[in-house]
Chains A and B, each alone.
Chain A
Amino acid sequence: MSESQESSQSLYEKLGGEAAVNAAVDIFYRKVLSDYRINRFFDNSDMEKQAAKQKAFLTMAFGGPNNYSGTDMRTAHAHLVKMGLNDSHFDAVMEHLGATLTELNVPADLIAQAAAIAESTRKDILGK
């Protein structure tokens, strides 16, 4: 692949698109569920629904198609903010995102780009 082609690809394409999200979602969700700092925020009464939400989050962080607005993020996380969701929990999720991508051998510069996208949602998710 020539360099010009490479640079014309979106982040989502570079990461491998939907197949990459599918590969990442189980790994990421396992990390989240086993993290005592944050697992209380992830209602696992319906694990399939919860996994679908993780998939939506990863798709967004990977620069993939998404229609979520800042308001959607605020509304969806408002009940968690009431439960005490704060920066430390957001940091933990960011940690797991990075570790998941590292585990999948994603190059560091692409991990940084995905992390930046996820980071951009912090204020909305924490209701600030």
Chain B
Amino acid sequence: MQNITIGESTFSCQPDETVLETLLRENVRIPNGCRQGLCQACMMRSLDNPPPAPAQTGLKDTLQKQNYFLACICHPEQDMTVALPNQQGASIEAVVTQKQRLTPDIIRLVVEYQTPFNFFAGQFVNLKRLDGLTRSYSIANIPQHQNILEFHIRRLPDGQFSNWVHDELVVGERLMLSEAQGTCHYLPGRAEQPLMLVGTGSGLAPLYGILADALAQGHTGPIHLFHGSRDLNGLYFIDEMRELAEKFANVHYTPCVSGADGDSTHARGRAHDIALSSTESLSGWRVFLCGHPDMVNQTKRMAFMKGASMSDIYADAFHVIQGK
């Protein structure tokens, strides 16, 4: 008989019982629906070992890689420690080591951590100020040996956290980091697949990480990056991206300016319009979308209608939290 641990409690899973059945029998509230592995309402995450493969049927590949599974079709093969999505509270300490202005309203922040920390480039973490104020930011670098994380933090007009980062946070100060979260990241395999990366504003941060990760893992297919901003001022890393495109024959970079002040060195128009009209069909493509929620949701739908498979679309919408 296997034990299922969730939070502080451990329950034993009866023979033939699924994880969902065990937890519901013990009155643990787990959202659920079809109970046949289809609706994905009961998705949970295994925190220790990889879950049995059949319990991951139909989940997005990035979720499978992160040990998510469907409780309703999971017959445990060993003891499991599980959690509902976004219920992993662990946090570690980090120290600010660099702060650099990228655009008038975007700051590049680099922090260093000591505790072991796993992430995929393109995932996000919750950054917590020591008084508790917390916001999510995407990781812009790939896992390396240096124990650092890079973030691109855009100043929002009434953003408590972003204004604090821009105006007050100094090198040497401490922050707390949550575990890395999110499914918008690169996975190896299908190295010849064409990739389309579309981002607005600081949406370049996760895409920069994803692009670097794809190259580090030997992606051979064409990689098309479209970075958009309303005005010229909002674009950054232009030289870095152009250098990458020169160095790697399969990398193509298109900076896009939708407002009036674009010039001949940029495409004129919104990044997702330019991206979508750049190719006849997206059938067989892998698509990554990061940034403004309206752009992300609209483009997700359009990319799907244009032939991209639902399972090949990875998205991270930057929702703004209205601080008080």
Contacts and interface: CB of A to CB of B under 8 A. Distances in A.
A40 interface: no
Interface string B108-125: 000000000000000000
B58 A26 contact: no
Pairs of residues from A and B, 4 with the lowest C-beta to C-beta distance, nearest first? A56-B38, A51-B310, A52-B40, A67-B36
B163 interface: no
Contacts of B297: 45
A53 interface: yes
A113 B100 CA distance: 64
A30 interface: yes
Given A18-B57, A47-B301, A48-B60, A56 B34 contact: yes
Contacts of B242: none
A18 B40 CA distance: 16
A115 to B, nearest CB: 20
B310 to A, nearest CB: 5
Band of interface residues on B: 10 to 19
Contacts of A33: 301, 304-305
A48 B304 CA distance: 11
Most buried by A among B40, B297, B313: B40
Interface string B55-67: 0011010000000
B304 A30 contact: yes
B2 interface: no
Contacts of B38: 52, 55-56, 59, 66
Most buried by A among B38, B305, B309: B38
Given A47-B300, A49-B40, 13 more contacts: A29-B304, A29-B310, A30-B304, A47-B313, A49-B39, A51-B310, A52-B39, A52-B40, A52-B58, A56-B34, A59-B36, A66-B36, A68-B34
Nearest to A34: B305
Interface in A27-68: 29-30, 33-34, 44-45, 47-49, 51-53, 55-56, 59, 65-68
**Majority SS of interface residues in chain B?**
loop
Interface residues of A, number: 22
Nearest to B313: A47
A26 B34 CA distance: 20
A44 B301 contact: yes
A26 B305 contact: no
A25 B40 contact: no
Given A47-B300, A47-B301, A65 B310 contact: no
A48 B313 CA distance: 10
Contacts of B304: 26, 29-30, 33, 47
A53 B310 contact: no
A67 B304 CA distance: 29
Nearest to B310: A51
Interface string B188-227: 0000000000000000000000000000000000000000
Nearest to A18: B57
Contact of B34 (A30, A51, A67): A67
A104 to B, nearest CB: 15
Contacts of B40: 48-49, 52
A25 B311 CA distance: 11
